[in-house]
Structures are given as C-alpha cells and as structure tokens.
Amino acid sequence: MPVACACFHLVPHKMTWDDAQKYCRANHTDLAIFRTESEYEALENPCGLDKYCWIGLHRDDTNAAVWNWANGEEVSFTSWATNEPNDLWRNENCTVMENKLWIDIPCHIKFESLCSEDDLILVKEEKTWEEALEHCRTLQTDPDSKDTHFNHLYDLPHMHAEHNNRYVKDLIQNAQTKEVWIGLRFLAGNWLWVNGFPLEEQLLVCPKPKMNCGTMSKTGTRLFRDCSGRRNFFSRNTSPLVNTTLNKTLSHTILSNPTIVKATLIKPTHSHFNLQISRIILQ
C-alpha cells in the first residue's frame, strides 16, 4: 500500500545533519519524520537502493537513551537495522536510512538528505462535516484515473493526537473556529478514517447521540461532535492509488459488518463527491 502523499524530497547535495536540517527547514518543512508504522511500511525506498540519507531522528540532548524527531515529536515506532543503534563511535547521535533501515551515525559526516513536506491545508470556511468532505474531494481530481468514483486527490485527513507536532499546532492556531473537522467518522457501529487508514487505538464504541464526527482542538485533542456543526477543516493530499484501495477497503469494512442489512454508496450527480455513505439500515 503506498503512502498517503508524496511528502518527501531527496536532496542529493551531501551535508552534515545540522546543515541538512537547516536546508530542509528553509526549503521544505523539516528533515523527514515518520509518524506511524503502517504509513512507513507503505513507503517506497525514498533514498534509493543501497544509498544512505539523513532523516530527522536524533538522540535527546539530555538522555542518550531517548530518540526524538527533529520537530520535537516523540518516536512511536522504530526501524533500526540489526544491532542498531550501537553508538559505535561514541558520538553517533544522528540517523541515516538505508533500504528503510535506520543506522545511528556521527552527525558531522556528510550524506544526502530526505526532507519532509507536510501538505496539510487549513480551510478557513465554516462547513458541516459532510460539506467539508465534499469540499476536500473537489479541490482537485486526477484526470488520469480510470475509476471516476475514486479519483480525488484531497480528503479530510487521518490525524493522530498532535500534541507534539509543532507544525500542526501552529497551523491550527490560525483557524477561525475553536475546533476543525478531520476525517474521523462513526458509521455502522465503528469509528474509521474516511480515507481508509486503520485506527491505531480504540475509541468510544458508542458515542453520545449525534456525536458521530471527529474534530481536533487547538491543543491537539481529538473530540467527537455533531456532524451538522459548522467549522473550519483540514485537508490533505491523497494519491489516487491510495484512495482507490483504501476507500474500497472502507466500503468492504462497512458491508462486511454482520449488523448491517444494507449500505448504499452513492455518487451524487450534483458534485464530484466520490464516496458518500448516504444511508445505513441496521437490523
């Protein structure tokens, strides 16, 4: 499964880790970070076969046993090579990636760099959750897609708790509403991301009445709200291949639920709203 977006840029000019970070922050967002294992597993080898490149992982300044991402986020998973990290030279405080495996190495050595580009968009329009979803999916469509039901390039995003993501915390402060819509939805007795990415934690099995849509507050907390409320919202680029695969997975998840008698997936004629679960009739 490919990643949700082409969010990385390989810089062939060789630099130290510090210089690479400065370059990435000046020209992109930061040195590459990887938030979830499922997205990382879906990633093609961005450094190239058998090539080393810097990523944004480094030792904590106050605790050598702790590793953090360059933007301050905590590490939620690792992909160390065998016997790594080993601090072989006693100053291996930075990380390169080779064939998607991580190796600790001194920060002063020069390598190519992998920069990240967070293409998260804050839309400062106040819409209901479904209107926000439709807006995202009509921002741009893929003219080369053979499947017109799954050809959108933008979607309400899947987002994890963003307490440590400085970029998101800074961006959401510009919202004109206290919370913003994200792609979290309660359907057929299940919480799910509308772009099909799997949930990595358990959420309330039975939310309060009408509280079936997800928001994110300006502190990075996810909340459940009435879908008819009007808020600003996030949107993020999503590759056509991912959308095709994941949205079909989404519909399969709903249709395979044993409590469902019928689920209607429609594409309204008045818009390019590519996937809308419009009616679910339960036993």
Number of domain units in the chain:
2
Quote the domain boundaries for residue 63: 8-116
Let me know whether 144 and 230 are in one domain: yes
Considering the domain architecture, whether residues 103 and 162 belong to the same structural domain is answered as no
Measured from the Cβ of residue 10, the count of other Cβ atoms closer than 10 Å reads 14
Q: What is the pTM of this model?
A: 0.58
Residue 76 near residue 35 (C-beta atoms within 8 A): yes
For residue 188, the model assigns a pLDDT of 86
On whether both 160 and 247 belong to a single domain, the answer is yes
Query: 244 lies in a domain?
Result: yes
Say whether both 137 and 59 belong to one domain.
Answer: no
Q: 3-state class of 198 per DSSP?
A: coil
Do the domain assignments include residue 86? yes
Q: Does residue 173 share a domain with residue 111?
A: no
- C-alpha angle with apex 39: 137 to 130, nearest 5 degrees? 25
pLDDT at site 169: 79
Q: Are residues 125 and 78 in the same domain?
A: no
Domain boundary among 64, 85, 116: 116
Concatenating the DSSP letter of every residue in 221-262 gives: -EEEE-TTS-EEEEEEE--HHHHHHHHHHHHHHHHT-TTEEE
Whether residue 272 lies inside any domain: the answer is no
Question: Are residues 236 and 127 located together in one domain of the fold?
Answer: yes
Q: What is the pLDDT of residue 235?
A: 93
Regarding whether 220 and 148 lie in a shared domain, the answer is yes
Per-residue pLDDT of the chain (283 residues; tens, 9 = 90+): 223 344 788 999 999 999 999 999 888 878 999 888 887 888 888 898 889 999 999 998 888 899 999 877 789 899 999 999 999 988 999 999 999 999 999 999 999 999 987 778 899 999 999 999 999 988 865 555 554 345 567 899 887 655 446 678 788 999 999 999 999 999 988 899 897 766 767 787 788 999 999 999 998 889 999 999 999 999 987 653 333 334 443 444 333 443 322 222 223 323 333 333 333 322 2
CATH number at residue 44: 3.10.100.10
